[in-house]
Amino acid sequence: MSDTAVTPSTATFDQFGLAPDILKAVKESGYTIPTPIQEQAIPVVLAGRDMMGAAQTGTGKTASFSLPIIQRLLPQASTSASPARHPVRALILTPTRELADQVAANVQAYAKHTALRSAVVFGGVDMNPQSEQLRRGVEILIATPGRLLDHVQQKTANLGQVQILVLDEADRMLDMGFLPDLQRILNLLPKERQTLLFSATFSGEIKKLAATYLRNPQTIEVARSNSTATNVTQVVYEVAEGDKTGAVVQLIRERGLKQVIVFCNSKIGASRLARSLERDGVVATAIHGDRTQNERMQALDAFKRGEIEALVATDVAARGLDIAELPAVINFDLPFNAEDYVHRIGRTGRAGASGDALSLCSPNERKQLADIEKLIKRPLDVQRLTVEAPVRHHHEERAPRRERSSEGREDRGSRRRTGASSGSYDRPHHHRAQPVDDFFLKPYEPSPSSVRKIEEAAAAAAPQKPASKQPLAALLGGFGMPRKSSSST
């Protein structure tokens, strides 16, 4: 953030008339100068107007709506313990669980000196703690649509007093087929409310959504849509499909990349690549929709803590995720949807920092490349990449499955092995044409009976403690929580 000190803007957060408790939190978050979208959006939201915003995350979008929402709700903040005094007054919807979590963390930080309560609900995790939190009452609720509707159905969430609705990454939500869910949610809200819609693009569908649910919205656009940040250097490397894994390793090593997100087009591809990178000595883990929510969160947290060099992701991580100081993004595959390219590379070069967007393009991906160049309205720098000494050992026999299985699952591999204890680990291996081994791709799920045994054992070991603070994941030796370990109702 120190770079922003040279920004010629003289604006400060003081100009908006935000409460001291909010300004204090802003200061503690390290922000001093509002970003362009904040400068434009905060007064509009404070005035109670509906708004359509075109901005990507990392432009300060979350604060641009969170801060004025907190300000607007402040007069109604209650210190009462009664849940009835804490109805949901602001609802923020996001397309992915990780994004919901991230927005919630921001809201929590900005509201921490106020009496307002916030909570986040999304699928893939136990409903009960969420229900309990909702029962105690929250004024600001961040959610993914499906789980929110689940809570509504269970009567653990009541949306009858919502005054402000935020649709974050609205275009993405439509892409993902959330329209019916959004319509159901919108029908549960009071007609008299403020609605804010954020979208990367204003397509016909988005305009229709806005025309239906927003009233006389003010439009705010900070960057031309589909533009890419100028501080991100984009390079495309022509490479044979089979050389891609070697190319990723080479780029990481040659450029000395400490951290990188590597995007793949498929979940299986992401899992496979993470495993291959591990074998070449890159600390890597995969994040995609076939992994449990616990595994996804652990992967992201470990990456943010700097414990992982390469986060191999599907487009679940393409939008909105804010990872500080990410120096580079690699496209292992070029996305089929050109817009996703813009979002993917938007993970780097954030908050004014510079970043590299390195894309691998095999001969059969030329069409995708052309689509991207058309969208961003400029040709990309295409270079030929010679993959030196690909880490392949064609002369070696394929390892028997039994031996490989001793490595454990792909995500366990993120904890680097020490040479001594793993005899089979350094064994040469194949890099391509490996049959997809179900063992590595299927998430590990202990049987319900074994989970019960472990829980019983844990309870017996610590009978004094009312609720074991030890997460079940830890008891399972680092494996993720099984998807359905506990009763949902």
Least distance (Å) from DNA to the CB of residue 180? 9
The CA-to-CA distance between both ends of the chain, in Å, stands at 45
Q: Of 336 and 439, which has the nearer Cβ to DNA?
A: 336
Q: Of 153 and 216, which has the nearer Cβ to DNA?
A: 153
Q: Of 93 and 229, which has the nearer Cβ to DNA?
A: 93
Q: Of 44 and 167, which has the nearer Cβ to DNA?
A: 167
Contacting residues for 371 by C-beta, under 8 A, at least 6 apart: 338
Q: What helix, strand, coil percent values describe the chain, rounded to 5?
A: 40, 15, 45
Helix (H) or strand (E) holding 218: strand 218-221
Nearest-angstrom CA–CA distance, 317 and 263: 8
Which stretch in 7-15, 60-68, 261-269, 407-415 sits in contact with DNA by CB under 7 A?
261-269
Of these, 266, 422, 450, 470, which contacts DNA (CB under 7 A)?
266
Amino acid at 335: P
By rule CB under 7 A, what string of x and - marks binding of each residue 227-256 to DNA? ------------------------------
DSSP 41-84: HHHHHHTT--EEEE--TTSSHHHHHHHHHHHHHGGG------GG
Q: Is 127 in the site for DNA (CB under 7 A)?
A: yes
Q: Of 182 and 252, which has the nearer Cβ to DNA?
A: 182
Which stretch in 95-103, 240-248, 423-431, 457-465 sits in contact with DNA by CB under 7 A?
95-103
Q: Is 441 in the site for DNA (CB under 7 A)?
A: no
Q: Is 332 in the site for DNA (CB under 7 A)?
A: no
Query: For the chain, what is the total number of helices (H) and then of strands (E)?
Result: 18, 14
Of these, 103, 116, 149, 372, which contacts DNA (CB under 7 A)?
149
Tell me which long-range contacts 76-84 makes (C-beta under 8 A, separation of at least 24): 76/139, 77/114, 77/115, 77/116, 77/139, 78/115, 79/115, 82/137, 83/135, 83/136, 83/137, 84/137
Nearest-angstrom CA–CA distance, 81 and 441: 46
Closest CA to 147 of 200, 215, 97: 97
Q: Which two tokens stand for residue 437?
A: 């081994």
Q: Of 26 and 143, which has the nearer Cβ to DNA?
A: 143
Of these, 36, 289, 408, 478, which contacts DNA (CB under 7 A)?
289
Which stretch in 3-11, 171-179, 372-380, 439-447 sits in contact with DNA by CB under 7 A?
171-179
Least distance (Å) from DNA to the CB of residue 176? 4
Nearest-angstrom CA–CA distance, 90 and 72: 10
Q: Is 438 in the site for DNA (CB under 7 A)?
A: no
Q: Of 37 and 174, which has the nearer Cβ to DNA?
A: 174
Residues 172-191 that bind DNA (CB under 7 A): 175-178
Nearest-angstrom CA–CA distance, 312 and 297: 14
Q: Is 344 in the site for DNA (CB under 7 A)?
A: no
Of these, 91, 103, 148, 214, which contacts DNA (CB under 7 A)?
148
By rule CB under 7 A, what string of x and - marks binding of each residue 450-489 to DNA? ----------------------------------x---x-
Nearest-angstrom CA–CA distance, 100 and 290: 18
Closest CA to 65 of 218, 190, 196, 206: 196
Helix (H) or strand (E) holding 474: helix 472-475
Q: Which residue has the tokens 């470990």?
A: 302
Q: Is 367 in the site for DNA (CB under 7 A)?
A: no
Residues 371-430 that bind DNA (CB under 7 A): none
Q: Of 64 and 118, which has the nearer Cβ to DNA?
A: 118
Question: How far does Cα 405 stand from its chain's mean position?
Answer: 30
Q: Which two tokens stand for residue 232?
A: 């991100």
Contact indicator for 431, 391 with CB cutoff of 8 Å: yes
By rule CB under 7 A, what string of x and - marks binding of each residue 290-329 to DNA? x-----------------------xxx-------------
> Residues in the site for DNA, rule: CB under 7 A?
95-98, 122-125, 127, 144-150, 153, 175-178, 265-269, 288-290, 314-316, 336-337, 484, 488
